[in-house]
Structure 1
Amino acid sequence: MDTQKSNTGWSDTELEASIDAYLKMWKLEQAGQAFKKSVENRLLREGPLALRSASSIEYRMQNISAVIQQLGWQPITGYVPAKNVGAGVNARIRAVLEAKAVLDTETYTATADEAVLEMRATTLQKRSIAAEPQGIVNPQQVSATSTTYVRDPQVRAWVRQQAKGICEGCGSNAPFEVDGQPFLEVHHVKHLAQKGSDCTSNAVALCPNCHQRCHRSSDRKAFTAGLYSRITRLIPE
C-alpha cells in the first residue's frame, strides 16, 4: 500500500525515470495524441519507481511541470506546476532536461549583446511562453566599448506577444515585420541606467516613434505617465 512506500530522497535513476515518463506524455500532448496519466503512473510504480507511491509520483510530475514552465514552455495539462520546488530538485531536473537536449536553454539565457538578445527574443516570440517571465530585478552592468546591461530575452519576447503587433504607446500597428514577426521596440519605462528593472512590470512594446518620444520629446514625462495609467502591468519603480 502507499503508506508502506519509501519517502526518502529520490535517486538520480528514479528522477530520470520520472522525467522520461513526463517527456513521453509531453511529446504526445504536443502532437495532439491521447495518453493516460494514471497508466504512466502505474507503469512507473511497476517498474523503476516501485518504492514510490502514486501520490509522490504525481507530485514529482508537478515539480517537472514547474521547471518546464520556468523555462518558458507549456507544461502538461493536468500536472499543475508545484509552487515550491526546492533549489536542489530544480537544478537536478534542469540538468536531466539539458542532458537530454530537450530544451534549448541557451535561447533563454540573459545576455548583454544586443544582437544576440534580439535574435533570442525573436526566436522566443514564435514560441508559446506559458508564464510571465520573472526577468532581472537588478540587471548587471558590463563594460564593452560602451556600457550596456544584461537583459532577459523572454521579457522582450513576452512583452511583444502581449502587444500583439500594436504599439502600446499610440495604438498603431507595428510599422514593419522582422522574420515574420511584427516589429516593436521594447522600452524600459524606468531606464536601466536609472536602475530600472528588466522585468515585464517595467517594459512596454513601442513603435520606433513612440520609443524615441519616451527618450527625446519635450512631453516625454507626460507620455510616460500615460503609459503607467493605461498599461496595468506597469509598476512604478
Structure 2
Amino acid sequence: MDTKKASNGWSDEELEASVDAYLKMWTLEQSGQAFKKSAENRLLREGPLNLRSASSIEYRMQNISAVFEQLGLRRITGYMPAKNIGAGVIERIRKVLDAKPGLYAEIHKATADKPLPRKRTTVPMPSLEIEPQGILNPRQLFTVSLSYARALHVRRLVRLLANGICEGCDQPAPFAGEDGQPFLEVHHVKHLAQKGSDRTTNAVALCPNCHQRCHRSSDRDAFTEGLYSKIGRLARE
C-alpha cells in the first residue's frame, strides 16, 4: 500500500495502522480477552501515529466502527459508530479491509455465528433429503492471534505438582500425551493478556474440559474463584 495522503491528511500507512489496531482489539473481544482502548491508543501514538492526537485516533476508530456496521459486521463494543463520514474515508477503510481477505472472511464468519436460543422450540427440525457435500479442498485463511513467551520450566513444574490429576475437577488426565505423560494443559488463572504473570503461583494444570470452562463457560468466574480456594500455591495478582 502506498503512502499517499487524502484531503484529511491521513496517509494510507496511518489508516492501515488504525485498521490493524482495531482488528487486534476486535480479535481480543471476540475471544473474551480483556484489553484497554487507552493502551492501544497510546501504542499507536508512540508508533505509526506519532503525529496524531488521542482524540483523532479515537474518532478514526469510530469511523471504522461505522464501516463495520454498514457491512453488517459486529463492531467493537467500546467504539460507537461516527456519524456523517465522508464517502472517501469509507472507501479507503473498505479497501484496507479488502486487502486482508482471509481476516475479512473470518470477521464475516464470526459475525454470522449468532448464539443459538436457549429455549427449545416445539417445531420439528426438517429432515435432510440431500446429504451436504461439504468442501473438498478448504481454502486457507489468514487470521490474527496473540501469543506470549512462556517459561518451559514453569509448565513442567505445574504439571509435576498436579501429578496427573486435573486441579479443576480432581479427575485423572483424560489420556497420555505423545511423551507418554498424563495430558494436562497449563492455564494462567489471571490471563497473560490481563497482565498475569507466568509463575507457578498463577498457573494450574487442567484437563481440556476444565481449561475451556475457565475461558468459555457461563460460570467461569465462580470456577476460577474455586481454584484460588482449593490450590494453596495460587496467589491473587
Shorter-normalised TM range: 0.3 to 0.5
Larger CA Rg, structure 1 vs 2: 2
More strand per residue = 1
When normalised by structure 2's length, the TM-score is: 0.44
Alignment TM-score, normalising by the size of structure 1 = 0.44
